Chains A and B, each alone.
Chain A
Amino acid sequence: MEKAVEKLLRIAGIEYRDVKNRFDDSAWKNIEILEELLEVVEDDDRPF
């Protein structure tokens, strides 16, 4: 996983080690938001 993130950030021209804290914190927060928003969509099977 770490190698994939390194590659993604290199496309943008930056090194993962330079932004590791921000990236990792955001990724964690985004999973928490996903969990919350899954409750909003519930079992609705329609697309966006």
Chain B
Amino acid sequence: MMTGHFEAAEELSKILKSRRFDAVERWEKQRKKILELNPLVNAYITVFDKPLCRKDFRKRLLRGLTVAVKDVFHVSGYPTTAGSKLFANRVSSHTAPVVEKLLEAGAAVNGKTNLHEFAFGVSNINPHFGACKNPFDLARVSGGSSGGSAVAVALGMCDIGLGTDTAGSVRIPASFCGVVGFKPSIGSLSTEGVIPLSWSLDHVGTLSRSVWETAVAYAVMTNKVKEISKITPAKLERLKIGVPINYFLEYLSHDVREMFEQSLKKMEAKGAELVDIHVPDVEKAVRCRTVIGFAESSAYHLGVCKGNLAVYGEDVKQRIVAGLSITAVGYLTALRARKKLVAKFRQVFNQVDVLATPTTTITAHRIDEQEIDVDGKIINVRAATLRNTEPFNLYGVPSISIPMGFSSKGLPTGLQLVADFGEDFKLLGIAYGVEKLFKTSS
């Protein structure tokens, strides 16, 4: 564990209000950290010599707070590798609109972060740029595919991380690395200027050290800066929290189950009402997501690889081969089924305000592990990692992972909260309230 290197979740509101805040001094401190720790954790693929920002950033809202950008977002004048050998020498000619919005608000981009190759995996073991390692145990994965941004945030190499999430790629590394990961409602953040994994499932999301920071970044990127003053921790009294009785709580490791049960007890003690919920057709939703995601990925890569699929890492290559076996009828049927599955799922919010699940069923696994023993059952680590996050990409509803404590091995665990489509700020307020509760009761 990289003791002494973790950045405390200090609220950026205090920094932003401080007259003495010196962005350049903060950049230098963060750069020193990157130069010292990046060779150990592989969080960044490209570190900018000087953070990219507007000349008058000091007069703007974010005053030079730094953003680390997953290396699928185009930033004009810099390489965008997508974690692939194929794109290693490509330099972007334009900047993704979500990055532009952060720059316009006074943020400074300090580099491009490591990811699972083409964002098509959840371990962040990248054969071309090195495995992104978990700062709590360097023998373990960061989780992915936005692992570099999660590690950069956890270690204080930047203030905010940008990521993408197609099956859990923001929330999974957030859970494994002990930070906050937010995937908003589908379409609320533009995916323009972002190298795609799956056009209809990709979500842009954020990683940060607190829910408040997440909400600020989200407000900036959605042109809702006025909402920032309204972001307060929601009261948990009489809040209806749905606890799934099917699918999500199966195959939990002992530590994750214990932390989840403790979290529920804390919320209940604060006045929240826990409601048992049967989430309909989750298994069908998962298979539907797989068909759509794999078909779209393979359609994109068949064109972009230009006959060079052989240079891809073995795992990603195999997934693209699997996607190529999907028929047009299979894909179109999945798109039609999606509408029905989403409509049926959203009815759960007639009964509860939010759903709560563990973000991942296990804590970060070892880099060399393919399978894991969960209470006597042997489970593939990829399946265990994305099991609880991927349904919400099909449903397109906002989901957030917040730290809920540590396992007996000192590894972080994450609590996932999920709200109905479009209720992003409501979800952030609830997550803020839960985060405050966890901090005061830990």
Q: Bin the interface of chain A by size.
A: 20 to 34
> Is A19 in contact with B321, judged by CB distance below 8 angstroms?
yes
| Cβ-closest 9 pairs across A and B | A48-B335, A13-B307, A26-B322, A27-B325, A12-B309, A40-B337, A37-B337, A26-B325, A34-B330
CB distance from B242 to the nearest CB of A (A): 22
CB distance from A26 to the nearest CB of B (A): 4
> Is A41 in contact with B333, judged by CB distance below 8 angstroms?
yes
CA distance A37 to B323 in the complex (A): 17
Cβ of B341 under 8 Å from chain A? yes
CB distance from A25 to the nearest CB of B (A): 8
> Is A48 in contact with B305, judged by CB distance below 8 angstroms?
no
CA distance A16 to B404 in the complex (A): 46
Cβ of A22 under 8 Å from chain B? yes
18 further interface pairs, Cβ-Cβ under 8 Å (given A46-B339, A48-B339): A8-B324, A9-B321, A9-B324, A11-B302, A12-B305, A12-B320, A14-B317, A19-B321, A23-B321, A26-B322, A33-B287, A33-B288, A37-B334, A40-B288, A40-B337, A41-B340, A44-B336, A44-B340
Q: A11-B302, A12-B305, A22-B321 are in contact. Are A37 and B310 (CB under 8 A)?
A: no
CB distance from A19 to the nearest CB of B (A): 5
Q: List chain A residues, Cβ under 8 A from B309.
A: 12-14
- Residues 261-291 of B, flagged 1 when their CB comes within 8 A of A and 0 if not, give 0000000000000000000010010011011
- Residues 300-335 of B, flagged 1 when their CB comes within 8 A of A and 0 if not, give 011001111110000001101111111101101111
> Is B310 in contact with A13, judged by CB distance below 8 angstroms?
yes
Q: List chain A residues, Cβ under 8 A from B325.
A: 23-24, 26-27, 30
Candidates B302, B327, B333; contact of A37 at CB < 8 Å? B333
Cβ of B54 under 8 Å from chain A? no
Chain B interface residue count, Cβ-Cβ cutoff 8 angstroms? 36
Cβ of A36 under 8 Å from chain B? yes
CA distance A27 to B327 in the complex (A): 8
Q: List chain B residues, Cβ under 8 A from A10.
A: 307
Q: List chain A residues, Cβ under 8 A from B308.
A: 13
Q: List chain A residues, Cβ under 8 A from B339.
A: 46, 48
CB distance from A9 to the nearest CB of B (A): 7
CA distance A11 to B14 in the complex (A): 55
Cβ of B101 under 8 Å from chain A? no
Q: Which residue of B lies closest to A31 (CB)?
A: B330
> Is A40 in contact with B281, judged by CB distance below 8 angstroms?
yes
Q: Can you give 29 A-B contacts (C-beta < 8 A)?
A: A9-B321, A10-B307, A11-B307, A12-B301, A13-B305, A13-B306, A14-B321, A19-B318, A19-B321, A22-B318, A22-B321, A23-B324, A24-B325, A30-B325, A30-B326, A30-B327, A31-B327, A33-B287, A33-B288, A33-B334, A34-B291, A34-B327, A37-B336, A41-B336, A41-B337, A41-B340, A44-B336, A48-B335, A48-B338
A-B contact count (CB 8 A): 90
> Is A37 in contact with B321, judged by CB distance below 8 angstroms?
no
- Residues 74-117 of B, flagged 1 when their CB comes within 8 A of A and 0 if not, give 00000000000000000000000000000000000000000000
- Main SS class of interface, A: helix
> Is B330 in contact with A48, judged by CB distance below 8 angstroms?
no
Taking CB atoms and an 8 Å cut-off, the chain B residues in 404-432 that contact chain A are none
Which of A12, A27, A34 has the most chain B CB atoms inside 10 A of its CB? A12
Q: Which residue of A lies closest to B287 (CB)?
A: A33
CA distance A37 to B316 in the complex (A): 25
Q: List chain A residues, Cβ under 8 A from B326.
A: 26, 30
CA distance A7 to B153 in the complex (A): 45
CA distance A47 to B335 in the complex (A): 9
- Residues 180-196 of B, flagged 1 when their CB comes within 8 A of A and 0 if not, give 00000000000000000
> Is A26 in contact with B284, judged by CB distance below 8 angstroms?
no
CA distance A13 to B310 in the complex (A): 6
Q: Which residue of A lies closest to B344 (CB)?
A: A40
Q: List chain B residues, Cβ under 8 A from A31.
A: 327, 330
Q: List chain B residues, Cβ under 8 A from A46.
A: 336, 339
CA distance A12 to B321 in the complex (A): 9
CB distance from A28 to the nearest CB of B (A): 9
CA distance A36 to B291 in the complex (A): 12
Which of A19, A23, A40, A46 has the most chain B CB atoms inside 10 A of its CB? A40
> Is B288 in contact with A37, judged by CB distance below 8 angstroms?
yes
CA distance A37 to B317 in the complex (A): 26
Q: List chain A residues, Cβ under 8 A from B317.
A: 14, 19
Q: Which residue of B lies closest to A42 (CB)?
A: B340
Q: List chain B residues, Cβ under 8 A from A14.
A: 309-310, 317, 321
